[in-house]
Chains A and B, each alone.
Chain A
Amino acid sequence: MKIILLVEDDISLLTVIQIKLERCGFKVVTARSVESAMEKIMKVDGIWLDHNLIGKENGMDFVIKFKAKTKKFKETPVFVVSNTSSQDVQKCYADLGVLNYFVKAEHKLSEIVKQVQTSLS
């Protein structure tokens, strides 16, 4: 069973995404801050990442720390799923090597989950 690290600060969204992912056959570990997420990165197959998180650090800080900590980054797909539609933010993620960027408001939950399934299968 593939393990997804779900990093999302909003509890309602965290819950609905977790349920959907689990229903689609993933094991889900959750985190709401960069600090908490960093503790759980070693055993995961993919990362579902929100940009705005609890605490001072955001999703970009997480990616930078993740890349610095382990070589696993290359083989671990990261999906940024955020309501921040700023092109500058998207470009920064792309520059960091994160190519999957979804604006929540523009997609159905099932669409994004489908993309995650395709990437990890």
Chain B
Amino acid sequence: MNKKISREENARYARSLIEASLDPLVTISIDGKITDVNEGSIKVTGISREKLVGTDFSDYFTEPEKARAGYKQVFADGLVTDYPLTIHHLNGTLTHVLYNASVYTDEKGEVLGVFAAARDVTAKKELEKQLAEFAKLQDEKIINRTVELAQKVKELSEAKAKDEAILLSLGAALVVVDKEGKIEFVNKAFEELLGWAQSEVLGKFMVEVIPREDEAGLEVPFVERILSEVLAGKKITTSNIKSSDLDAPVMVLPPYYYIRKDKTRFPAAGFINPILLNKRVVGAVEIFRDITKEKESDTAKSDFISLAAHQLRTPLSVVSWYIEMLLDGDGGELNEIQKDYFQQIYNATERMLDMVNSLLNVALLDVGAVIIHDEHTDVALLIQDVMDEQKKDILEKEMEITFDYTKNLPLIKIDPKRLRMVLQNLISNSVKYTEKKGKIKIKMSILNKNGKEKKELLLSVEDNGLGIPFEFQSKIFTKFFRADNVVQRSTAGTGLGMYLAKNIVEASGGKIWFESKENIGTTFYVTLPM
């Protein structure tokens, strides 16, 4: 009796243990029929214990064959562990499990069946699946990104190669320097032009490697090199240089010469441009080329012009000097009519000479062959001188001419011959284009711009003459231009005077402008730097 009780209790105890497990547990007979299940198995299949017991265990798996194979393995080996199978629920949901199964025996050791415990790994499987998908996605992303990067690298290296090719094949020499003026890059034209290989000059100071000379062969000192000034962030104010804006290209104009590796020199022209980063100069780029041919051609042109002018003047001199002799009575007494005729010829010859001179000056100016010889000049004295030259015409026309100027003005540095041309043009125009008994006022004073240090000389020539018609005012400084109202009065004049004057004044760093009203008068203004 005791024994019986104890057996029942044992069975209860065993069941309570089995039911305590949340994992599906099952016992299977030797012939593969379910003998017992726990709640876990009922949940996972959706089938009651009564219906499960006595049925074939393999019916509840998605792969019955695999389930039976596992079952056979248990008998062969005594156990299986982590045997993967998938249980299907009545409602269609699937549960992924890993089975641990072993045989169980009676007291005599005879095999009664199999005990199998499943572990639900659905969540784990799902996670693994997600991980796998995520990994796959990541892989795809990485691959895409890598492809993109490779494409970018390709594009960049192509762009870089293209840039390099452009720089290399640039006809002009190019050199890039850092903020200290050390060479960072030179192109092929630089190497060919100067005879230096890039490898020889990298990291060296540009101004040391490539000395610069002026026309006379004197070396331009380091501090005066435009490159040095650009790097120092200085505003360039040399009259040779067109631009004073820091970020605008700075012109290097001839006559400058660069010295090659083999010590030979060549005239160069080009730009130096600062490289700005956040408004700070971090380096500079210089582009220049050899202008030997242009220079030769300019020299040839100016030589030709000089020769042509000389050849034209000689016969004109012959004509005018012979007529002068005749008019002076050196060829015998002339009657009044003869005198008048010769005077007409003489005047025309003088006009022709004026024209030849003007053309020569303009032509030389246009080829840049005018050499400016600046000297300390007394401008007041020069004005007096030019006024004296015009005295004859002024007296003839009974004009009144005055000259007011601030006394003790300092001498200014300018080419007196060129300034004389400007003054001659301004004053003679006023005399020519003002009626009899007209008035001309010449004034000169110092202009102190905004009270700053930079002073300028201000000149004005005012007349109460014909004036310039409004519609022609914009053309006054144009080559060969003459306004209608003066052409009607006199055919003399080349229309080159004001063009020359403007060019000379601007080349001297000054400005020229005018105010005019027809039949009221004209005032020309000139400023010159002091």
Contacts and interface: CB of A to CB of B under 8 A. Distances in A.
A105 B322 contact: no
A113 to B, nearest CB: 10
Given A84-B306, A87-B373, A109 B321 contact: yes
B128 interface: no
A83 B324 CA distance: 17
Nearest to B350: A105
A86 B299 CA distance: 13
Contact of B328 (A12, A52, A85, A110): A110
B313 interface: yes
B318 A23 contact: no
Interface residues of B, number: 22
Contacts of B321: 13, 16-17, 20, 104, 108-109
B324 A12 contact: no
Interface in A71-94: 83-88
A64 interface: no
A23 B353 contact: no
Given A16-B325, A85-B360, A87-B417, A10 B314 contact: yes
Nearest to A50: B314
Interface string B308-337: 011001101110111011001010000000
Contacts of A13: 314, 317-318, 321
A38 interface: no
- 6 residue pairs, one from A and one from B, having the closest CB atoms: A83-B313, A104-B317, A109-B321, A12-B318, A105-B313, A105-B353
Interface of A: 10, 12-13, 16-17, 19-20, 23, 52, 83-88, 104-106, 108-110
30 contacts: A10-B318, A12-B318, A13-B314, A13-B318, A16-B318, A16-B321, A16-B325, A19-B330, A20-B321, A20-B325, A23-B330, A83-B309, A83-B314, A85-B309, A86-B306, A87-B373, A88-B371, A104-B313, A104-B317, A104-B321, A105-B313, A105-B317, A105-B353, A105-B357, A106-B357, A108-B324, A109-B321, A109-B324, A109-B325, A110-B328
Interface of B: 306, 309-310, 313-314, 316-318, 320-322, 324-325, 328, 330, 353, 356-357, 360, 371, 373, 417
